Amino acid sequence: MISHCDIDRYRLALRHPWRSARTDVGARQGWLVRLADDVHVGFGDCAPLPEAGTESHDEAALALGRWQTRLIGQTIDAALADLDHDESRAPAARFAIESALLDILTRRLGLALRDWLADGATGRIAVNTMLGPVGSTTPEAVDAARAHGFRVLKLKVGLDDPATELARLAAVVREVPPGVALRLDANGAWDLATAERFIRAAKAWPIEAIEEPLREPLDADLRSLQTLAPFSIALDESLHRHWSGLLDPVTGAARDDLAQLPVRRLVLKPAACGGLRSTLAFAEQAIAAGIEVVITSLIESAAGIWPTVQLAAAIPSPLPHGVATSGWLQEDLGDAPTISDGHISLPRHAGSGFCPTHRMPSRGG
């Protein structure tokens, strides 16, 4: 039975602002969820980011408050079943509660979370590194990423005049060694004509993908861009804003034929998709339909990164995942997964792998 449910608010400052065409984030705020039964403790992280497809902070707080009352006295299985039938629109809160429940369950079973999620889960995943806006990316940053073994470097675009960014991107490309590719994220910055110009100019460069190129991501326009681009066009936050009917918020089941999507790639965040199991179900359906899948974080605390990394290890995708974001935080709620040679090697420990520090960072208002 669940005997305790503690929900503690936190605020984690970033080393540098996280800038995109839609937002400018200087700190991450959320709640650490701690559930306990008579023997085990499980943790989850609720750090909403509405621009990425989650609920608002106020909505998350209400959802967490409801769950804090409902969970006490329930078994883990009953609580998971209750969560499965909850249709409230609070995906970041669902992710936190589910992560804590599954952390307890897999600790009890003596299983690493990834092994409970999927047979044949890997213990080592490739990750990309985030270098920030293309306009501030230096040759030294590219050299450091290469020295640390990263094979995909992610850059933010859509923050400046496209001609200026293309010139700066050309300078970055000159520093990129063979075997290393660039993953660009426009965060919905461009109209169709601008996106087309950008893609035509970048065709000969080692671009691995462009995420969210369009301000208004219409099917026909995205399909046109994907036909034009020799690399993948990816949907991320617009998957939740414009294709909300595509994904069942409870089961993760796709309601339409995913093979008909106008792009080659989906970027999935479990805090925006409503949890680990629903994201896994959706990812498996997408991969079966020939769609590439990348798992990314919302710059969560280590309490959110650990289950997200475990999920990435359970998904049969060879692409580098976007979960190497803990370095952007000035302080954290616990140790994040270790990155070596552009990969995360996960321990065999039972549960998610998260262990909290004794002191909570400063609490946000």
The per-residue pLDDT for range 343-354, each reduced to its tens digit, is 999 999 999 999
- Residue 251: CA count within 13 A, CB half-sphere: 7
Average pLDDT over residues 63-89: 92
Q: How confident is the model over 189-247, as pLDDT tens digits?
A: 999 999 999 999 999 999 999 999 999 999 999 999 999 999 999 999 888 765 555 66
In a domain, 225, yes or no: yes
* pLDDT recorded at residue 257: 73
Q: How confident is the model at residue 16 (pLDDT cuts 50, 70, 90)?
A: confident
Q: Do residues 41 and 108 share a domain?
A: yes
Both 102 and 28 in a single domain? yes
pLDDT of 286? 92
- Pairing state between β 129-133 and 339-340: unpaired
- Condensed to tens digits (0 to 9), the pLDDT of residues 291-336 reads 999 999 999 999 999 999 999 999 999 999 999 999 999 999 999 9
Section 91-109 average pLDDT:
97
In a domain, 365, yes or no: no
Q: Are residues 58 and 156 in the same domain?
A: no
To the nearest whole percent, how much of the chain has pLDDT over 90?
Answer: 84
**CA separation for the pair 255, 209 (Å, rounded):** 26
Among candidate residues 351, 360, 338, the one with its CA nearest the CA of residue 310: 351
Residue 353 falls inside a structural domain: no
Instruction: For the chain, report the end-to-end CA distance as a whole number of angstroms.
Output: 32
pTM, to two decimals: 0.94
Residue 76 domain-assigned (yes or no): yes
- For residue 360, being part of any structural domain is answered with no
Same domain? For 166 and 79 the reply is: no
d(CA 264, CA 255): 18
Query: 78: which residues sit within 8 A by CB, 6+ positions away?
Result: none
User: Are residues 273 and 189 located together in one domain of the fold?
Assistant: yes
Please give the pLDDT value at position 241. 65
Q: Is residue 151 part of a domain?
A: yes
pLDDT category, 365, cuts 50, 70, 90? very low
Chain mean pLDDT for the chain:
92
Q: Which residue has the higher pLDDT, 233 or 16?
A: 233
Q: pLDDT confidence of 87, banded at 50, 70, 90?
A: confident
Q: Which of 54, 81, 114 is the last residue of a domain?
A: 114
CB atoms within 10 A of CB 325: 24
pLDDT at position 122, please?
Answer: 97
Q: What is the mean pLDDT of residues 62-81?
A: 95
Name the domain boundary from 114, 136, 152. 114
**Residues 228 and 264 placed together within one structural domain of the fold:** yes
Let me know whether 103 and 133 are in one domain.
no
d(CA 109, CA 124): 22
In the chain, the number of structural domains is 2
Does 362 reside within a domain? no
pLDDT of residue 253: 58
The reported pLDDT for the residue numbered 357 is: 87
One domain, residues 149 and 160: yes
pLDDT tens digits along 153-197: 999 999 999 999 999 999 999 999 999 999 999 999 999 999 999
- The confidence score (pLDDT) of residue 17 equals 77
Chain position carrying tokens 């640390």: 148
Q: Are residues 180 and 101 in the same domain?
A: no
CA angle at residue 1 from 4 to 302, to 5 degrees? 50
Range of the domain at 188: 117-345
Average pLDDT over residues 24-31: 88
Q: Mean of the pLDDT values across residues 32-45?
A: 96
In this predicted model, what pLDDT tens digit does every residue of 250-291 receive, in sequence order?
555 565 678 888 999 999 999 999 999 999 999 999 999 999
Domain shared by 37 and 50, yes or no: yes
182 & 44 share domain: no
Does any domain span residue 178?
Answer: yes
Task: Mark whether 134 and 42 lie in a shared domain.
Answer: no
- Assign residue 244 the CATH number of its domain: 3.20.20.120
Q: Choose among 247, 298, 242: nearest CA to 92.
A: 298
